[in-house]
Amino acid sequence: MGFIAFLKTQFIVHLLIGFVFVVSGLIINFIQLCTLVLWPINKQFYRRVNCRLAYSLWSQLVMLLEWWSGTECTLFSDEATVNTFGKEHVIIILNHNFEIDFLCGWTMTERFGVLGSSKVLAKRELLYVPLIGWTWYFLEIVFCKRKWEEDRDTVIEGLKRLADYPEYMWFLLYCEGTRFTETKHRISMEVAESKGLPKLKYHLLPRTKGFTTAVQCLRGTVSAVYDVTLNFRGNKNPSLLGILYGKKYEADMCVRRFPLEDIPQDEKEAANWLHKLYQEKDALQEMYNQEGIFPGQQFKPPRRPWTLLNFLFWATVLLSPLFTFGFGVFASGSPLLILAFLGLVGAGN
């Protein structure tokens, strides 16, 4: 094991990375709070500032995927579709089978310059979570309770508010509503049978209300829907903990572009369109399981240095005083603190 690989397994290193992320996130949240004074003066400037503040936080997680673990992400698509990335407002539909599927999505938004302005339809409980929920609040993320009777007006209002968003945004929808498990899949297919819908093998039955509402409210703003089907080579099931320990994965993402004008405006027909899409996604997963590859050309968008530089900036700002203090302690020979430090290092072995 090389020295860098050894460092990636050490608890003290993980602790320092977590410290940088949490403290920088709280600083960013405070700055975002201060930017609220900009909203009544210049709403679009407020939005642009918060896109960059959000980027400064989320890109630290992308850095872990791209630079720390070295995970590779390959796109399977066509050149015309790839050429539109980062140049239009879109709705993203992504399967929800893996713990880090959102992170693979984020690395693609980063490589095409839309990480800071990416959006999601999120659970309302996340609104009260520091760093995640607070950052999303200032980004005008749409929150919901998953009860359509209570969510309808809130979701419609939130989506319509994004109609004049100044930065290209990718609006992510997990139409399945929750992450895939065997138990959830069994229950979902029982519902499909009761409703006379075709059964799916690799996905849960999509919930159509969020999709049809997003399409209706963002029509005229959003140009297309990108359907993304994600899988990992070697039948791997990666985790955030694996990424933190520096494990390298190979992610394959099949991306198909559907112009918004091709999606029916009628709510029932749009719902049927989504069900058909998930049947196609199921077929793509079956093909991948059998052949180990998705159809289409392969593209590997190069990683950019900004995620690494951003993390190094925060690490320098936040850890330099910590290490200066630590070296001062060692120089003064405080036995208690030295033993505490050695105990932390030993805990990682």
Q: What is the pLDDT of residue 328?
A: 57
CA terminus-to-terminus distance, the chain:
14
Question: What is the predicted pLDDT for the residue at 339?
Answer: 41
* H helix or E strand, kind and range, residue 224: strand 224-232
The pLDDT of residue 154 is 86
The pLDDT value recorded for residue 268 is 93
pLDDT of residue 325: 58
Contact between 44 and 162 under an 8 Å Cβ cutoff? The reply is: no
pLDDT of the residue at 61: 96
Per-residue model confidence (pLDDT) at position 64:
96
- What would the DSSP string read from start to end of 131-190? THHHHHHHTT-EEE-S-HHHHHHHHHHHHHHGGG-SS--EEEE-TTSS---HHHHHHHHH
**Which tens digits make up the pLDDT trace of 289-343?**
999 999 999 999 999 999 999 999 999 999 887 666 555 544 444 444 444 444 4
Contact at 8 Å (CB) between 307 and 61?
A: no
Q: Are 276 and 198 in contact (CB under 8 A)?
A: no
The DSSP-derived string for 180-207 is --HHHHHHHHHHHHHTTPPP-SSSPPPP
Cβ-proximal residues to 40 (8 Å cutoff; 6+ apart), any chain: none
Contact 204, 197 (CB under 8 A): no
**What pLDDT does residue 1 have?**
58
- Cα separation, 251 vs 166, in Å, equals 31
Report, in angstroms and rounded to the nearest whole number, the Rg of the chain calculated over CA atoms.
22
For residues 232, 66, 172 and 285, what is the CA-based torsion angle, rounded to 10 degrees?
-10
Mode of pairing for the β-strands spanning 170-173 and 224-232: unpaired
Cβ atoms within 10 Å, residue 303: 19
* Residue ranges for the chain with pLDDT beneath 50: 329-349
Residue 21 has what DSSP assignment? H
